[in-house]
């Protein structure tokens, strides 16, 4: 018999999608049964009380968590999101329900051995509930009490060689796409760069020193499988400089129907026979492709590297060999002054261990933003307030047509005094000697 | 809300051990909090950070940004963590009696 009646939540156990309600109930039952004789360090009925408080929220249509919460581990200024229930007498199991962010491996590759050991810690010292994973990438442990935080941290670091993720006004946990581990489009080793920068900037990740949060994300190609252009203050997106590699025989195999377009991604509906003109040539945003019935050609100097043709015919078309990444800056959610996607700053940067060219751009931006950024101002907002030109200056980047989608249409153009013959110091009397009042 | 008694003083605190009212702060508060914040001996440097935080809060009604705290005290962030192991927010602001930091922490 469940501790709390949950008629509203029980509705969510119906239907085909995996039900989080079923799963939490299962975990609640497992904790009560406790077959392994675990010495639970937080209330055994944490899962029951979580369902109870959630049912109450469904009824009231209001959250039942108190505002904020400041908890953590010594040495770090972030990593744990404190949370307290606003009805602790009714739901003592979730009186404290802190979230622990655990830094995940690049690409979220795991062994069952590692996950089992992690879960052993969490089973004993937490709720047994997780979020695999948080949007930023962390493996998230949902729900524990303050007294357990240092215990969890000790076991994580000493037994699992695993650290906490980031929270607060600092570098948040970086994340990347699967990259070269299982994708032929990857233009650089996203795992290597993500891991190297996570390690390099541990200090910035664990001890908030920034005006506000700051995120890195690494996409191996413009497809953006980790959505870096929308979800990271600095987005690293793989690309190439030379020509797309064409296998003409494979192109013919697509045209002949032996190979499925988009690797069969649209197989669930009949879209007719593959039409290379209609599906590739005419869809190219720069119109730089042609097909003469037997040969595909690409005018690579006009190619944006949008990925469409490669995505459609992955067996026939491949990324070039001269590879690297573009760096874009400033993506953020709407608060305060509107949503932004990242803007192109460095069109092409080589991505090779030890990634010095990449680090230089990062550190130049930080030096500037840490000094000039206002309290709780994202990089994107600092760019808006101080101007893109300033970002170019501090990163030592030469302005380039690729920095804009189109030139400004208003004539409010600032000049530097040194670029104007005679400078800005003028004498009105001198002017009046030529122009009467 | 919980209350604690320490050396004849009474303090009202929240779950995270932050003072509910800045006006309730007294030197005894620092003594009371220091252990839970991992501080054995209170030095002049601790005092300097606490005093600056309080002055800044009284003048501006908010806690200073980390950068300003570093600049004015001359202590690098690393040193602030040596003084206050849980950092400037949870450690120093709590001891100084400032309201709990908020936002996306």
Q: Which residue from B minimizes the CA distance to A66?
A: B15
Decide: A369 and A169 in contact? Cβ < 8 Å.
Answer: no
> Which chain A positions have a beta carbon within 8 Å of B103's beta carbon?
376
Q: How many angstroms separate the CA of residue A157 from the nearest CA in chain B?
A: 17
| Facing residue for B103 by CB, picked from A71, A75, A376 | A376
pLDDT in tens, A38-80: 999 999 999 999 999 999 999 999 999 999 999 999 999 999 9
Give mean pLDDT, residues A111-120.
Answer: 98
Query: Are A67 and B15 a contacting pair at CB < 8 A?
Result: no
Q: Do B77 and A209 touch (CB under 8 A)?
A: yes
> Phi then psi for A247, rounded to 5 degrees?
-105, 100
CA B41 from chain centre, in angstroms, equals 15
**Secondary structure letter of residue A270 according to DSSP:** -
Only one residue has tokens 């949370």, namely: A83
3-state secondary structure of A382: helix
**Residue B82 confidence (pLDDT):** 96
Q: How far is CA A344 from the centre of its chain?
A: 17
CB contact under 8 A, B88 and A167: no
Residue contact B66–A169, C-beta within 8 A: yes
Alpha-carbon distance A341 to A233, whole Å? 9
Task: Out of A75, A77, A375, name the one closest to residue B89 (CB).
Answer: A77
* pLDDT higher than threshold 90 for residue B46: yes
**Are the C-beta atoms of residues B14 and B20 closer than 8 Å to each other?**
yes
Check: CB of residue A343 under 8 Å from CB of residue A333. Answer: no
> In whole numbers, what is the pLDDT of chain A averaged over residues?
97
CB within 8 Å: B16 and A74:
no
Q: Which residue of B has its CA nearest to A79?
A: B105
For the segment A149-170, what is each residue's pLDDT rounded down to a tens digit?
999 999 999 999 999 999 999 9
Chain A residues with CB-CB distance to B87 below 8 A: 72, 76-77, 207-208
Coil, helix or strand at residue B11: strand
State both tokens at A113.
């051995």
pLDDT at B49: 97
Which of B8, B15, B16, B104 does the annotation list as catalytic? Answer: B104
Q: What is the dihedral of CA B91, B3, A71, B98, to 10 degrees?
A: -40
- Predicted local confidence at residue B101, as pLDDT: 87
Contact A96, A109 (CB under 8 A): no
Residue B104 annotated among the catalytic residues of the structure: yes
Determine the length of chain B: 105
CB A393 within 8 A of CB A419: no
Q: What are the backbone angles phi and psi of residue A57, rounded to the nearest 5°? A: -65, -35
What is the structure's pLDDT at B105? 65
**Residue A428 — pLDDT band, cuts 50, 70, 90?**
very high
- What DSSP element (H or E) covers A240? strand A234-240
Which of B70, B83, B104 to probe by mutation at the A interface, max A CB count within 10 Å?
A: B104
Q: Which residue of A has its CA nearest to B101?
A: A70
- Per-residue pLDDT tens digits for A357-378: 999 999 999 999 999 999 999 9
Return the percentage of chain A with pLDDT > 70, whole number.
Answer: 100
Burial of B86 (0-12, 13-18, 19+ CB in 10 A): buried
If you measure CA to CA, which chain A residue comes closest to B16? Answer: A70
In the numeric block, the tokens 């739901």 are attached to A91
B interface with A, Cβ–Cβ < 8 A, is: 15-16, 18, 38, 62, 65-67, 77-78, 81, 85-90, 94, 100-105
A-chain residues near B81 (CB < 8 A): 75, 77, 207
Which residues of A sit within 8 Å Cβ distance of B? Answer: 66-78, 81-82, 84, 96, 167-169, 203, 207-211, 213, 370-371, 375-376
- Is the pLDDT confidence value at A2 over 90? no
Handedness of CA A18, A23, A25, A30 (dihedral sign): positive
Residue B65 CB partners (closer than 8 Å, separation 6+):
A211, A375
Across chain B, mean pLDDT equals: 94
Distances (CA, A) of B23 to A256, B1, B41, B98: 81, 17, 25, 10
**pLDDT above 90 for A209:** yes
Instruction: Please enumerate in sequence order all residues whose Cβ is within 8 A of that of A236, keeping only pairs 6 or more positions apart, or say none.
Output: A190, A193, A216, A217, A218, A219, A228, A325, A326, A327, A351, A358
Alpha-carbon distance of A96 to B27, in angstroms, equals 29
Contacts of A203 (CB under 8 A, 6+ apart): B78
How many angstroms separate the CA atoms of A13 and A227, rounded?
A: 31
Going through chain B in order, the beta strands assigned E by DSSP cover 2-6, 9-13
Q: Are B31 and B3 in contact (CB under 8 A)?
A: no
Is there a contact between A96 and B104 if contact means CB atoms under 8 Å apart?
Answer: no
Question: Could you tell me which residues come within 8 angstroms of residue A259 by beta carbon, excluding any fewer than 6 positions away?
Answer: A250, A253, A313, A315, A316
- What are the helix (H) ranges across A43-111? 46-60
Mean pLDDT value of segment A195-207 = 98
* A230 token code pair: 């929308």
The strand pairing partners of A290, in sequence order, are A297
**Is the Cβ pair B15, A66 closer than 8 Å?**
yes
Mean of pLDDT values over A229-245: 98
Segment A188-216 mean pLDDT: 97
Note the pLDDT of residue B102: 84
Q: How far apart are CA A346 and CA A356, in angstroms?
A: 14
Mind listing the pLDDT tens digit for each residue in A82-98?
999 999 999 999 999 99
Structure token digits, residue A13: 């156990």
pLDDT for res A89:
97
Average pLDDT over residues B68-89: 96
Task: Give kind and range of the element (H or E) at residue A227.
Answer: none
CB-defined contacts A:B, below 8 A: 68
Coil, helix or strand at residue A345: strand
Cα separations in angstroms, A433 against A154, A166, A421, A429, A436: 80, 65, 20, 6, 7
CB contact under 8 A, B89 and A375: no
Contact state of B67 with A70 under an 8 Å Cβ cutoff: no
Distance CA A168, CA A162 (A): 20
| Cα dihedral across residues A273, A278, A284, A289: positive or negative | positive
Predicted local distance difference test score (pLDDT) of residue A175:
98
For residue A213, list chain B residues with Cβ-Cβ distance below 8 A. Answer: 104
Using a CB-CB distance cutoff of 8 angstroms, which residues of chain B are in contact with residue A81? 105
């Amino acid at each position: 018999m469940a501790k709390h009646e949950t008629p509203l939540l029980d509705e969510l156990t119906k239907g085909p999608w995996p039900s989080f309600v079923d799963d939490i109930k299962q975990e609640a039952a497992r904790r009560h049964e406790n077959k392994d004789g675990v010495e639970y360090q937080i209330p055994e009925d944490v899962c029951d009380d979580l369902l109870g408080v959630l049912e109450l929220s469904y009824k009231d249509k209001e959250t039942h968590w108190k505002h904020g919460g400041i908890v953590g581990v010594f040495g770090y200024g972030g990593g744990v999101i404190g949370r307290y229930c606003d009805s602790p007498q009714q739901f003592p199991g979730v009186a404290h329900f802190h979230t622990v962010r655990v830094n995940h491996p690049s690409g979220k590759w795991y062994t069952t051995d590692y996950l089992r050991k992690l879960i052993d810690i969490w089973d004993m010292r937490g709720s047994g509930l997780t979020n695999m994973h948080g949007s930023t990438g962390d493996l998230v442990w949902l729900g524990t009490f303050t007294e357990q935080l240092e215990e969890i941290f000790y076991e994580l670091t000493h037994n699992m060689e695993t650290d906490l993720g980031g929270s607060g006004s600092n570098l948040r946990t970086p994340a990347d796409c699967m990259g070269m581990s299982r994708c032929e489009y990857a233009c650089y080793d996203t795992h290597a760069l993500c891991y190297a920068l996570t390690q390099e900037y541990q200090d910035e990740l664990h001890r908030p020193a920034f005006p506000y949060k700051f995120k890195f994300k690494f996409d191996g190609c413009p497809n953006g499988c980790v959505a870096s252009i929308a979800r990271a203050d600095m987005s690293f997106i793989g690309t190439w400089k030379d020509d797309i590699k064409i296998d003409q025989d494979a192109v013919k195999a697509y045209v002949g129907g032996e190979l499925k377009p988009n690797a069969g991604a649209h197989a669930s509906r009949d879209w007719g026979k593959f039409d290379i003109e209609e599906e590739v040539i005419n869809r190219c945003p720069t119109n730089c492709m042609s097909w003469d019935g037997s040969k595909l050609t690409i005018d690579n100097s006009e190619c944006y590297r949008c990925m469409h043709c490669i995505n459609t015919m992955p067996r026939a078309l491949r990324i070039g060999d001269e590879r690297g990444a573009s760096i874009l800056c400033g993506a953020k959610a709407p608060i305060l002054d509107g949503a932004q996607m990242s803007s192109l700053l460095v069109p092409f940067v080589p991505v090779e261990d030890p990634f010095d060219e990449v680090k230089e751009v990062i550190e130049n931006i930080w030096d500037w933003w840490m000094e000039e950024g206002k309290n709780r101002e994202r990089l994107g907002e600092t760019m808006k307030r101080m101007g893109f030109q300033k970002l170019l200056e501090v990163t030592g980047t030469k302005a380039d047509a690729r920095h804009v989608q189109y030139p400004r249409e208003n004539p409010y153009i600032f000049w530097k005094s040194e670029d104007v013959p005679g400078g800005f110091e003028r004498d009105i009397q001198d002017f009046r000697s030529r122009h009467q009042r | 809300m919980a209350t604690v008694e320490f050396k004849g003083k009474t303090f009202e605190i929240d779950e995270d051990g932050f003072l509910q009212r800045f006006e309730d702060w007294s030197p005894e508060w620092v003594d009371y909090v220091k252990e839970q914040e991992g501080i054995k001996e209170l030095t002049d440097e601790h005092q300097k950070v606490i005093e600056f935080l309080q002055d800044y809060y009284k003048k501006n009604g908010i806690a200073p940004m980390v950068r300003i705290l570093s600049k004015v005290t001359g202590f690098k962030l690393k040193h602030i963590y040596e003084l206050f192991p849980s950092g400037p927010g949870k450690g120093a602001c709590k001891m100084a009696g400032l309201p709990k930091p908020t936002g996306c922490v």
